[in-house]
């Protein structure tokens, strides 16, 4: 009986991010505009796997993203064709023999100015680029960006001093 109760509690606390495609996000944006977070990853990237395991699986992170963002995963070295804002992006140098190894960078990743993996790219509710945030982040490190971009406070951050003030005044709520 206790085991069933513990399993039920664990199941209720477990929450996953609802990852969708770029095309699905564009469709949903027409009905209910939201900000977008895009996880730009590669299949060989260790920190990308850590981000999935330690950060995106965190219940606070998953809940906040699901309630406030559309979430997209994009393989920066994959072979998918991406149509974004009327332009089609491909990976013409993709090598299928290197599917799970380092491969050529996708044109769309270059368009987004992705230079490291993982990178979380944030877009506004009209699908305009806000900023790419490179590197592995733990839940609390990601929280500050999720809330900065969701609340539009990023528009007030115009200098290093503004960013430091925002960080110093920020109240963290996510559990690590």
Q: Return the SS3 of 135.
A: coil
Question: In this predicted structure, what is the pLDDT of residue 14?
Answer: 59
Euclidean distance between CA atoms 40 and 78, whole angstroms: 11
Cα–Cα nearest to 71, from 16, 147, 132, 113: 16
Mean per-residue pLDDT of the chain:
91
The whole-number average pLDDT for the span 152-163 is 95
Q: Is the pLDDT of residue 7 over 80?
A: no
Question: In this predicted structure, what is the pLDDT of residue 105?
Answer: 96
The whole-number average pLDDT for the span 140-163 is 96
pTM across the whole model? 0.89
The whole-number average pLDDT for the span 99-118 is 95
Q: Return the SS3 of 41.
A: strand
Give, in order, the Cα–Cα distances in Å from 174 to each of 14, 55, 68: 15, 11, 15
pLDDT digits (tens, 9 = 90+) for 17-76: 999 999 999 999 999 999 999 999 999 999 999 999 999 999 999 999 999 999 999 999
Q: What are the boundaries of each domain within the chain?
A: 15-138
Pick the CATH number of 15-138 from 3.40.50.2300, 3.30.110.40, 1.10.10.10, 3.40.30.10: 3.40.30.10
Taking the CA atoms of 143, 144, 145 and 146 in sequence, report the sign of the dihedral they define. Answer: positive
């Amino acid at each position: 009986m206790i085991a069933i109760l513990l399993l039920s509690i664990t199941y209720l606390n477990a929450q996953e991010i609802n990852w969708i495609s770029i095309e699905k996000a564009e469709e949903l944006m027409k009905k209910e505009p939201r900000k977008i977070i895009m996880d730009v990853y590669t299949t060989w990237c260790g920190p990308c796997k850590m981000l999935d395991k330690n950060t995106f699986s965190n219940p606070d992170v998953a809940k906040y993203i699901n309630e406030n963002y559309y979430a997209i995963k994009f393989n920066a070295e994959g072979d998918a064709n991406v149509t974004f804002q009327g332009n089609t992006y491909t990976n013409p140098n993709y090598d299928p023999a290197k599917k799970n190894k380092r491969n050529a960078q996708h044109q769309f990743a270059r368009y987004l100015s992705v230079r490291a993996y993982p990178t979380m790219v944030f877009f506004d509710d009209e699908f305009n680029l806000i900023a790419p945030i490179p590197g592995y982040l733990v839940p609390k490190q990601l929280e500050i960006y999720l809330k900065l971009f969701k609340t539009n406070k990023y528009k007030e951050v115009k200098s290093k001093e503004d960013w430091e003030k925002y960080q110093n005044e920020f109240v963290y709520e996510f559990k690590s």
